[in-house]
Structure 1
Amino acid sequence: MKTLPFFDLAIIAAYLLAMVLVGVYFSRKNKNADQFTKASGLIPGWATGLSIYATFLSSNTFLGVPGKAFGSNWNSFVFSLSMPLAAFIASKYFIPFYRQTGEISAYTHFEHRFGSWARTYAVICFLLTQLARMGSIFLGIALSLQALTGYSMQMIMIVMGVCIIIYTVMGGMEAVIWTEVVQAVVKTLGALLIVYLIVQAVPGGTSKIVAIGADNDKFSLGTFRFTFTESSFWVVLLYGLFINLNNFGMDQNYIQRYHTTASVKEASRSLWLCVWLYLPASLLFFIIGSCLFAYYQVHPELIDAIKQKVAMDRLPAGASAAEVSQLVATLQPADYGDKVMPHFMVTKVPPGLMGLIISAILSAAMSTISSGMNASATVFTEDIYKRYINANVSKRKLLTLLHLATVVVGLAGLAAGLAMIGVKSILDAWWTLSGIFAAGMLGLFLLGLISRQTKSTEALTATIIGVLVIVWMTFSGKLPNDYSFLRNPLHSNMIIVVGTLTIFLVGLLLTRLNKRRSPSRIEPVIVPND
C-alpha cells in the first residue's frame, strides 16, 4: 500500500480541518432557514461568482476532462464555448424572473403556472440530477486518491462524505460560498502546478508537446460536419447550450445563489464572472490532458502499469495472467484516460507538492458536493415538506429539517458514488445522466416562461410525450438486433436537446390546436322583437 509522506498528509489534514472550522465559525450565524439557504442576501457579487465557478470546476473537470482529452481530443471543450450564450439568456431573462418571484426554490413557480404535478416532476428531476452529480464526483475523488494512497475507494468516499456533511450542515449557504471562494483559488493554482510539472517532465517541453498533439489530432474540436450521430462540434455545442440553460435557469444550485446577492445587477455580474473564469480554466484542463498524452508517448513503458491496473479492476478476482494480458492488448487510450493523471502524480510529483495538489482535487469535489447538498435540502423543505406535510412549520423546526435533509442527501450522494464504481468514463457518465434528468425540466420551464397561453393539460400531455421520447432515446440501444430499426440513431448527448424541444414544441402545438377549437369570442345572441 502506498503511503504519502508526513508533510503531504499534514497539508491535507490542515486543509480538511480548515474547511470544518469554517463550518463551525458560520454555525454561530445560522439561527434561521433564511440564513442557512441564502445567507440573508448579503454575499458580495464577486464572492457568489467565485462560488458558482467553483461549483462548475468540480472533480469531474479535474479528472474527467484531462482523461477525455488524453483519450480523444478537445471536442468536449465546445461545451465551455456555449456558456456565454447561455449566460446572456440567463442574465437577461432568468435572473430578473427569479429575483422578482422572491421564491427561494426554483420550482415553486411551476405549481403557480401548471399545478402541483409540474412542481413535483421538476423536484424529482432535480434531486435525481443531484444524486448523479454527487455520485460522479465522489467517484472521481476516490479514483484519484486510491491511486495516490492505496486506500480503498469505499473508505475514501466515506471519509470525504463525513467531512463534507459536517461543514455543510454546520455552516449553511454562507459557509458553502466562502469555502468555495477559497476552493476556487486552490483548485486553479493546483491545475497550473500540474501543467508546470508535466511540461518539465517532457523532454523538449512545450514544443514537443505541441508537436505530438498535432501529429495525433489532439487539439481537434471534433468534426464540423452537420452530423448528430457522433460527438461532432455541433452535438457538443447544442448539448452545452441546453445543459447550461438548465444550469442557469433550472438548477437550484445556481438559482439559490441569485438570492444571496443584494440586487439583480450583482447576481448577473456573479454569473458572468463565473463564465469568464471557467472558459480559460476548462481549457487549462484540456491542456493538461494533451500534455499527459505527450508525456506517456515519450514514456510508453509507463502505460503498461496503467493498463494492467485497469484490466485487473475489470476482471473478476482470480483471473489468470493470460486473461489479463488479453484484455490489456485490447485497451485503448479512452479506456484508461481517467487513470493517467493519478498515475503521473504518484510517479512524478515530488513530496510536499503532492499534498497541495491533493488538496486542490479535494476542493474540486467538496465545493460541488456541498452546494448540491444545501440546494437539495432546500428543495426538500420548500417543495416537499412545506408543500405536502406542514406548511406552517416553525422556524426552529424548519432549520432542524434543513440540517437533517442535508445529512440524508449527503448519504444518498455517497451511495450513488459507491454504485458508480467501475464506470468507463466519469465525464461521459455524468453528461449522459444529467442530460436524461434535465431535459424534461428545461422543456417544461421554457414552455411556461415563453407560452403564457399554455394550460396545465397541454403542458402535462407534452411532458408525458417528452418523457417517453427521453426513455426511448436512453434505452432503445439495448433492444435486440431484430429490433435494431427502433434504436435511437442520435448521439447520447442529443437526449437533452431532443427531450427539451419535444416538450416545448409539442406544448406549443397543443396550445395552438386548442386555441383553434375554442371560439375566440362569443357572438351576441340577437332576440327578435315580437
Structure 2
Amino acid sequence: MADQLDFAVILIYLLAVLAFGYSFYSKNKTAGSFTRGDGQFPAWALGMSVFATYVSSISFLALPGNAFAGDWSSFVFSLSIPLAAVIAVRFFVPFYRKINRESAYTFLEERFGRWARTYAAFCYLLTQLARMGAILYLLSLPVHSLTGWSVSAIIVITGLMVMVYASIGGIKAVVYTDAIQGFILISGALLCFVLLLSQIEDGFSGFLSMGLDSGKMSLGQFQFSFSDSSFWLILLYGFFINLQNFGADQSYIQRYIGAKTDEGARLSVWMGALLYIPVSLLFFMIGTALWIYYQQNSALLPTDLQADQILPFYIVNELPSGIKGLLIAAILSAGMSTVSTSVNSSATVLLEDFYIRSREVSDQNALRFLRLSSGIMALLSIVVGLMFMGVNSALDIWWALASIFSGGILGLILLGLFSGKTSNKAAKLAVAGGLIFIIYSSLNSLFPDLKVTFGLHPNFVIIISTLLILGVGLLLSKTNPKR
C-alpha cells in the first residue's frame, strides 16, 4: 500500500497538472485558439501529444499483462503503425490541412449531404464517451489497489481533474500537458524495467536468455487464419485501426491543422507513431521481466491474480516508497492524457457539427459553448465510467461498443476521399450494409449466449466493415455514375 511519501508525490502531480492547465486560461481568447491553438503548435509538442493519446492507462496495464500471460504477439499491432502513418502523411494530413476546417466531418456534408456529417459526428461522440468511461474505470482499478481509495472516488476525482484543465486551458493545455505526461509515463516505465532487471538473476542477460528459451518473446504464429489470431491478422487489424485513428478521428485531425506548417504536421505524425513502437515494446519487456521475476520467486505471487493486475501487484509489494507514487502518477498520466484529448475533440465536434453548423455565431459565444461542452463531456465520461463498475470484462464491452459506435466512419471517409462518382444514395446504402454487418458481428461480444457468428475472429469486424462500405459504394457508383 502506498504511504505518505507516495501520496505526496501523487498530490504534487495532480496539483501541478491543475496549475499548468489554468496557466493557459488567459491564452484562449478565441474559439480557434481553444480548438486548434491558432495553428501555432511546434511539431515536437504535437508529436508527444499524439504519442500520449496512443498510450492510455489500458496500454500501461494491459500490455505488460498480455506479455506476462502469453508472448509478444500483440506487439505486432505497434508494427502496423508506420504502415498507416505512410498513408496518413501522404493523403490525410495534406487533405485536412487544405480544407482547413475545425471538424473532420465538415467535408462529408459537402460530399454526401447533411446526414453523412451528422452520422459521423454522432458516432464519434458515442465512441469517445465509451472510450473515456472505459479508461476512467480501468484506470481506477490499479490506483485502488495501490492507494486503497474507492473505485468510484478515483473515477470521479480523475474525471473532475481532466474536466477542469481541459475546459479551462483548451487544446493548448491538452497538448502541452500531454507532452509532459508522455515524458512522465516513459520515465516511469523505464524506471520500472530497470528495477525489475536489478531483481532478476543475471540481469539483462538472464532476462534475454530465459525470455527467448521460454518462447515469451514470440511474435505469434505466421500461418494466416480467419478464426484464430495470427501475426498477419494482428498486423492487418492494427493497420485498419490506426488508419481510422489517422484518417477519421477528430483528435488527430485537430493536431494536423494545429501545426505551424505542413512539414510540422507530417513530423508530428511520424514522431508520435515511431515513438510508440519502442515504448510499447518496453511495456512487453516489463511483462516478460515480471514473468521471469515471479518464476524465480514463485512464493511471492498469489495463484488467483489476473494478468492485468500483475504490474500493480508488483508496484505495491516490491517497490520502495516514493517510487510507488511516481509510477501511480505515470499510470494517471497515461489515462488523463487520453481522456483530456477526447474531451477537447468532442467539444469541437459539438460546436462545429451541431451548434454552429451553417449559422453565424459570435466568437465569444462559441468559446463559451466550448468550455461548457468540455465540462459536460467530462461529466458524462464520469457517469459512463461508473456504469462500467460491476461488468465482467470492461475491455470486452469497450471493444464491442467501439465496433458498433465507430459505425464504419473510416469506410465513409475513404469513400468520400477517393471516389468522386459515388452518389449520396450509394453512400447511404453502403453505410447501411456496413452497419448491419457490424451490429450482427458485435452481438456475439455483447451477448455470447446467442452464438451468432460467422466463424471470424472479432478483429475482422473493422477490417471487413470498412472494405464492405468502400466496396459497395464503389460498386454502386459504377452502376449509377453520378458525380
- TM-based fold match above 0.5: yes
1:322 alignment counterpart: none
1:377 is matched with which residue: 330, 344, 347? 347
1:457 alignment counterpart: 425
1:405 is matched with which residue: 373, 377, 380? 373
1:488 alignment counterpart: 454
2:221 alignment counterpart: 223
Secondary structure of 1:259's partner? helix
- C-alpha distance in 2 between matches for 1:514 and 1:359: 57
Secondary structure of 2:27's partner? coil
How far off is 1:480 after superposition? Answer: 8.9
Preserved CA contact (<8 Å) 2:105 2:120: yes
Which of 428-437 and 244-253 deviates more?
428-437
1:507 alignment counterpart: 473
2:55 is matched with which residue: 54, 57, 70? 57
1:326 alignment counterpart: none
Secondary structure of 1:489's partner? coil
Secondary structure of 2:302's partner? helix
1:314 alignment counterpart: none
- C-alpha distance in 1 between matches for 2:203 and 2:416: 54
- C-alpha distance in 1 between matches for 2:455 and 2:317: 43
2:28 alignment counterpart: 30
- C-alpha distance in 2 between matches for 1:91 and 1:443: 18
How far off is 1:438 after superposition? Answer: 3.1
1:293 alignment counterpart: 291
Residues 477/179 of structure 1: CA separation in 2 closer, same or farther (3 Å cut): closer
1:352 is matched with which residue: 322, 326, 334? 322
Residue type matched to 1:376 in 2? S
Preserved CA contact (<8 Å) 2:400 2:446: no
- C-alpha distance in 2 between matches for 1:425 and 1:198: 29
- C-alpha distance in 1 between matches for 2:245 and 2:414: 13
Matches within 5 A, 1:202-351: 202-304=200-302, 307=304, 336-351=306-321
Preserved CA contact (<8 Å) 2:397 2:445: no
Residue type matched to 2:221 in 1? T
Residues 213/419 of structure 1: CA separation in 2 closer, same or farther (3 Å cut): farther
- C-alpha distance in 1 between matches for 2:351 and 2:240: 28
Matches within 5 A, 1:434-453: 434-438=402-406, 440-453=408-421
- C-alpha distance in 2 between matches for 1:11 and 1:183: 14
- C-alpha distance in 1 between matches for 2:92 and 2:424: 21
Matched positions, count: 483
Preserved CA contact (<8 Å) 2:403 2:438: no
Could you list the per-position Cα deviations for residues 49-90 of structure 1 after superposition, in whole angstroms to 9, with x for gaps in the alignment? 111111111111111111111122211111111111111101
Preserved CA contact (<8 Å) 2:294 2:301: yes
- C-alpha distance in 2 between matches for 1:176 and 1:479: 37
Residues 239/97 of structure 1: CA separation in 2 closer, same or farther (3 Å cut): same
Could you list the per-position Cα deviations for residues 394-440 of structure 1 after superposition, in whole angstroms to 9, with x for gaps in the alignment? 22121111111111111222222222235566665554543443351
- C-alpha distance in 2 between matches for 1:475 and 1:155: 32
Residues 489/408 of structure 1: CA separation in 2 closer, same or farther (3 Å cut): same
Preserved CA contact (<8 Å) 1:436 1:495: no
- C-alpha distance in 2 between matches for 1:502 and 1:11: 50
- C-alpha distance in 2 between matches for 1:365 and 1:444: 29
Matches within 5 A, 1:56-135: 56-135=54-133
How far off is 1:256 after superposition? Answer: 0.4
Preserved CA contact (<8 Å) 1:338 1:425: no
Preserved CA contact (<8 Å) 2:130 2:398: yes
- C-alpha distance in 2 between matches for 1:166 and 1:245: 31
1:161 alignment counterpart: 159
- C-alpha distance in 1 between matches for 2:392 and 2:66: 11
Secondary structure of 1:103's partner? coil
- C-alpha distance in 2 between matches for 1:276 and 1:28: 34
How far off is 1:108 after superposition? Answer: 0.7
- C-alpha distance in 1 between matches for 2:131 and 2:66: 17
Residues 480/424 of structure 1: CA separation in 2 closer, same or farther (3 Å cut): closer
Preserved CA contact (<8 Å) 2:22 2:165: yes
How far off is 1:15 after superposition? Answer: 1.0
Could you list the per-position Cα deviations for residues 153-202 of structure 1 after superposition, in whole angstroms to 9, with x for gaps in the alignment? 11111111111111111100111111111111111010001101222222
TM-score for the superposition, normalised by structure 1: 0.87
1:475 alignment counterpart: 443
How far off is 1:479 after superposition? Answer: 7.7
Residues 169/73 of structure 1: CA separation in 2 closer, same or farther (3 Å cut): same
Could you list the per-position Cα deviations for residues 351-393 of structure 1 after superposition, in whole angstroms to 9, with x for gaps in the alignment? 0111111111111111111011000000011101112xx8222
Preserved CA contact (<8 Å) 2:388 2:394: no
Structure 1 segments (4+ residues) deviating >6 Å: 477-481
Secondary structure of 1:28's partner? helix
1:421 alignment counterpart: 389
Q: Point out the structure with max Rg over C-alpha.
A: 1
1:194 alignment counterpart: 192
1:391 alignment counterpart: 359
1:137 is matched with which residue: 131, 135, 138? 135
Preserved CA contact (<8 Å) 2:397 2:446: no
Could you list the per-position Cα deviations for residues 429-473 of structure 1 after superposition, in whole angstroms to 9, with x for gaps in the alignment? 554543443351001111111111001000000100110011111
Secondary structure of 1:104's partner? coil
Residue type matched to 2:297 in 1? H
- C-alpha distance in 2 between matches for 1:455 and 1:513: 11
- C-alpha distance in 1 between matches for 2:112 and 2:38: 29
Residues 32/479 of structure 1: CA separation in 2 closer, same or farther (3 Å cut): closer
Unaligned runs of 5+ in 1: 311-335, 521-530
Secondary structure of 1:402's partner? helix
Residue type matched to 2:453 in 1? R
How far off is 1:213 after superposition? Answer: 2.9
